[in-house]
Amino acid sequence: MAALHDWTASKIDATDRKYLAGFKPTVEINGGRHSLLCYHGSPRSNIEQVLPTASAEELGKIFEGKHAQAYAGGHTHSQMVRKFGTSLIINPGSVGLPFYEAADGRVMNPVWAEYAVLTTSGDDLRVELRRERYSKHDLKVAVTRSGMPDPEWWLRDWI
Q: Where are the domains of the chain?
A: 24-134
Q: What confidence score (pLDDT) does residue 55 get?
A: 96
CA distance 54 to 47: 15
Q: What confidence score (pLDDT) does residue 15 get?
A: 97
Please tell me whether residue 117 adopts helix, strand or coil conformation. Answer: strand
Tell me the pLDDT tens digit for each residue of 20-33.
999 999 999 998 88
CA distance 46 to 74: 9
- For the domain made up of 24-134, the CATH class stated in words is alpha beta
Distances (CA, A) of 68 to 43, 80, 153: 12, 17, 41
Q: Which helix (H) or strand (E) holds 140?
A: helix 136-146
97 residue type, one letter: L
Q: pTM here?
A: 0.89
Q: What confidence score (pLDDT) does residue 1 get?
A: 86
CA distance 36 to 71: 6
Tell me the pLDDT tens digit for each residue of 33-47.
899 999 999 999 999
Q: What confidence score (pLDDT) does residue 33 get?
A: 86
Q: What is the mean pLDDT of residues 143-151?
A: 95
Tell me the pLDDT tens digit for each residue of 3-16.
999 999 999 999 99
Tell me the pLDDT tens digit for each residue of 114-125.
999 999 998 899
Give the total residue count for the chain.
159
Q: Return the sign of the alpha-carbon dihedral for residues 151, 153, 158, 159.
A: positive
Query: Please, which residues have CB within 8 angstroms of residue 144's CB and are 6 or more apart in sequence?
Result: 151
Average pLDDT, the chain: 95
